[in-house]
Homo-oligomer: A and B are copies of this chain.
Amino acid sequence: MPRKPNYEREDLIERARDLFWKRGWAGTSLKDLEASLQMRPGSFYAAFGSKDALFALAMEKYTLDGQARLSALARSHGALEALKLFPAVVIENEKAPAKACMLSKTFLELHAHNHPLAQEANLHLIRMEADFSNLFRQAQKDGAIDGQHDPKALARRYQSDLIGLRVSAERIDVDAKAIAAEIANSLDRL
């Protein structure tokens, strides 16, 4: 008996993710979302409940995509090579609406207000860090890097470097590819 919605939910979340990623949380108004998703307020709230709820879905999609890209690299190139390639891949992705990491942007914007989305962003960062850690551990099993290192420490530093790289890549006056290459190089010296 019912009527189907005339949209693809996942498409909408992707478009919202791109807007939020580029403009940030406060910088994205409902007017912006209505324009991009081609939805009127009523449909929007029926479908997602609130701006924050959609933002949470957008961050989740962002993280899952990142994890998928990383594990695809690991499958095709091996653990160490994936970690070496990832920084360059991430900042050279032409389809991405921004170079900087959506999770770190969100965390920075909302952390001081104790906004739940800041904690959410942090949780996603922890998830990513765990993935990096697993790849470092795998690289050690592969004999690609020294087994003496603590994979968690390597992941912590790697994620920090990646965040810095991606902020720098947003600036037009910075040669981010060079930084990405240096990050990759430093992994060879482990």
Which residues of A are at the interface with B, using a C-beta cutoff of 8 A? Answer: 22-24, 26-27, 98, 100, 104-105, 107-113, 122, 125-126, 153, 156-157, 159-165, 167-168, 170-171, 173-175, 178-179, 182, 186
Contact = CB atoms under 8 A, between A and B. Distances in A.
Contacts of A112: 22-24, 27, 98
A105 B108 contact: yes
Contacts of A125: 171
Contacts of A165: 160, 164
Oligomer: number of copies: 2
A111 B170 contact: yes
A153 B178 contact: yes
A160 B161 contact: yes
A84 to B, nearest CB: 16
Given A122-B173, A160-B161, A160-B164, 17 more contacts: A24-B26, A24-B108, A24-B109, A26-B26, A26-B109, A27-B110, A98-B112, A107-B170, A107-B171, A125-B171, A159-B164, A160-B165, A160-B179, A163-B168, A164-B165, A167-B167, A186-B186
24 contacts: A22-B112, A24-B26, A24-B109, A24-B112, A27-B110, A27-B112, A98-B112, A105-B108, A107-B171, A108-B109, A108-B170, A111-B170, A125-B171, A126-B173, A153-B178, A156-B174, A156-B178, A159-B168, A160-B167, A160-B179, A161-B161, A163-B164, A163-B167, A164-B165
A109 B27 contact: yes
A113 B125 CA distance: 25
A159 B179 CA distance: 10
Given A160-B168, A164-B161, A109 B109 contact: yes
A27 B24 CA distance: 12
Contacts of A111: 170
Contacts of A175: 156
